[in-house]
Amino acid sequence: MRPVTFHVLASFIPVLAALAQDTVDDLSTGASTCAPSELRAKISEEAALLPGHPWAGRYRASVGWFTEVDLNLAPIAGFLLEDPECSEPYSYDYGNAHWTGTAIRLSSAFLDDVRRESVTELVPISWCERRYLVAPDDIMAFCNAVNRGSEPRERPYAAHWVVQEPFYLREGDEGKAISGLPEVPAAFAPYLLEQPIVATILDMSCYGTNPSPTLFGYALDIAGEDKWVQVRIDAGKDRGVLPGMTFSVVKPEVRYMQLRVVTVFDHDSLCVFDDTLDSEALSRAGWVVSTRAPWTQSGYEPPVPDKLPVARATERTQLGKVRSAGRPRR
């Protein structure tokens, strides 16, 4: 190591030590003593000293309908998760950030369940110069978002108001070009598609009671009655379909209707509704679905529904415990 490099690194040591001591002091005296603005400044200062760090920095994500959050984190100063448009006492969470070797573990400083964040680990995912942080349980959803076209996004938060998924993207990366596919953990690589899978709906079955709570997401309101709907498509293992993949209706007309694959056979697959804004117009035999969703493309604006859909089975909204404690959604 050259002496000049050593001196440059040595000059950072007092700064990092001060950051560490300040953070320890904050956490040891209790969560109520930590002002978000002060912690945000500490994290930003530390991250600025670590150019090229694999995960330190400021990230943004959409985690619910019309709800955005910012995640600031650094190895020593820890993390701060906050709603950038809200200053209420329960609108943020903070604590330690620890690298486990495969993921960043977030340990909240709050002891109560109301403020403590539900996500405890985030996996760094690179896509050329873009950096994402994704919870382990959301990596398959991230792959589906890439296949669907809602990632890579060109906005700091969600690519579209109908796409509210908790994939944290580093601030400023929304303008960076990509090529190829993102670098996801090896177990999820088969879910990333070089080309979309296009299939046709063969038939549909409706049930008055939930035949399988572990497979069916939620009931659709059909003529005032709850119905659990299963759809069969003509693509299976022979076409590269895997359980957990999602399809969107593309013909006879584009609809915001998402099917999730639950069982794959050699030449066909069974799907359930994972999300829909159009439960009154159910899919029909002969309709065409694709892993690539036209409504994610530039220029398409689906109509805003009169009411929001039934709660998503897959939604695990960050800061959701805050809202369940009485804070209304925007």
User: What pTM value is reported for the model?
Assistant: 0.77
How many domains would you assign to the chain? Answer: 2
Widest pairwise Cα distance in the chain? 76
User: Do 134 and 162 fall into the same domain?
Assistant: yes
117 in a structural domain: yes
Q: How far apart are CA 15 and CA 87, in angstroms?
A: 29
Residue 129 lies in a domain: yes
Tokens 């998503």 locate to 312
* Domain shared by 126 and 187, yes or no: yes
Q: What is the structure's pLDDT at 283?
A: 64
pLDDT number for residue 82: 87
Cα 36 from Cα 93, distance rounded (Å): 9
Question: Of 127, 315, 290, which Cα lies nearest the Cα of 201?
Answer: 290
Instruction: State the Rg of the chain over Cα.
Output: 22
Q: Are residues 184 and 262 in the same domain?
A: no
Residue-level pLDDT, tens digit, the chain, 330 residues: 334 333 333 444 444 444 444 443 444 333 345 688 899 999 999 999 999 899 999 999 887 655 788 999 999 999 999 887 766 656 788 899 999 999 999 998 876 655 555 668 999 999 999 999 999 999 999 999 999 998 998 887 765 555 567 899 999 999 999 999 999 999 999 999 999 999 999 998 877 776 666 666 566 666 667 677 888 999 999 999 999 999 988 887 766 778 899 999 999 999 987 765 555 556 678 889 999 987 666 555 544 444 444 333 333 333 333 333 323 332
By residue range, what is the domain housing residue 58? Answer: 18-191
Same domain, 158 and 210: no
116 and 228 in a single domain? The answer is no
Specify whether 240 is located in the same domain as 218.
yes
CATH code for the domain in which residue 239 is found: 2.40.10
237 and 280 part of one domain: yes
Asked whether residue 248 falls in the same domain as residue 175, the answer is no
Do 113 and 131 share a domain, yes or no?
Answer: yes
Residue at 10 is within a domain: no
Query: Which residues have a Cβ under 8 Å from the Cβ of 68 and sit 6 or more positions away?
Result: 60, 61, 62, 83, 84, 85, 157, 158
Decide if 222 is inside a domain.
yes
Residue 152 within a domain:
yes
Say if residue 279 is in the same domain as residue 224. yes
Residue 97 sits in the same domain as residue 183: yes
Given this model, what pLDDT does residue 126 score? 97
d(CA 280, CA 220): 8
Residues 206 and 75 occupy one common structural domain: no
